Amino acid sequence: MRVAVFCGAARPADPVHLQEAATIGRLLAEHSIHIVMGGSRLGLMGALADAALAAGGQVTGIIPRPLNTPRITHPGLTSLETVPDMTSRKQRFVDLADAYLALPGGFGTLDELAHVWAGAAHGARARPVGLLNTSGYYTPLLTFLNHAAAGGFLTRHPDLRLDELAVVDDDPARLLQSIAARIDRPTATRHAMATLHGPS
């Protein structure tokens, strides 16, 4: 099972975000969940990857070629894939992940979240999305999404329900439990087999 994690490259003002990123990394590794992420050593991405690797986990980085420099790329990932640009990276996250997790972050994280939500709104197979709401980081975004829904702007796909857009929790372990319970296991297994052996 693979989870794509979107999270900040910046050093956060409050170190609790680095600690929580490390907690998520460790928990994913302990549950043998393969992490797919932006491939950087910086910010929350670095904290997540370091903790997962230290706990024996698998971490795949997907990094756009222009960002693949020693200053940015994590040197110890179990695998690293280079892609031409940010748009291709977002598509690789969608190709590879059985679920998505967003930790606190900036425009890059929001862009990745919007990409998966827009895909689901346009009929792509919806996969669970978890928001780690440390210190209420995502509460203003959720308020905005409710505002957008009330304004009738999130209705393009008739099956899309706002409460299905994301599972929100400020507790890393509870959030992972909720996401794991929502993963479509037969599809995830077929998907893993197809990736390993080619489509049957």
Ligand X SMILES: C/C(=C\CNc1ncnc2c1ncn2[C@@H]1O[C@H](COP(=O)(O)O)[C@@H](O)[C@H]1O)CO
Taking the complex as a whole, how short is the minimal distance between the CB of residue 167 and ligand X, in angstroms? 18
CB-wise, 104 or 128, nearer to ligand X? 104
Is 8 near ligand X (CB under 6 A)?
yes
Q: Which one of 6-14, 20-28, 123-131, 175-183 is the stretch in contact with ligand X (CB under 6 A)?
A: 6-14
- Beta-carbon contacts of 99 under 8 Å, excluding residues fewer than 6 positions away, are 1, 3, 4, 127, 128, 129, 130, 179, 180, 182, 183
Number of residues that bind ligand X (CB under 6 A): 18
Contact between 97 and ligand X per CB under 6 A: no
Can you tell me which residue has the tokens 């979107």?
6
Min separation Cβ 16 and ligand X, Å: 17
Give, to the nearest 10 degrees, the angle between helix 16-30 and helix 43-54: 40
Residue 67 in contact with ligand X, rule: CB under 6 A = yes
- C-beta separation of 4 from 97 below 8 A: yes
Is residue 46 at the binding interface for ligand X, with CB under 6 A as the rule?
A: no
Residue 71 Cβ, how far from ligand X at the closest point, in Å? 7
What would the two tokens of residue 183 be? 């993963």
39 near ligand X, rule: CB under 6 A: yes
| Contacting residue, 13, 75, 107, 196, with ligand X by CB under 6 A | 107
Question: Minimum Å distance from CB 108 to ligand X?
Answer: 2
Radius of gyration of the chain (CA): 16
Among 49, 96, 101, 109, binds ligand X (CB under 6 A): 109
d(CA 157, CA 77): 37
Q: Compute the distance between CA of residue 175 and CA of residue 133 in angstroms, rounded to an integer.
A: 9
Cβ nearer to ligand X, comparing 10 with 149: 10
Query: Does residue 108 interact with ligand X by CB under 6 A?
Result: yes
Beta-carbon contacts of residue 158 (< 8 Å; ≥ 6 apart): none
Closest CA to 38 of 29, 47, 30: 47
Q: Which residues bind ligand X (CB under 6 A)?
A: 6-10, 38-40, 42, 63, 67, 72, 105-109, 112
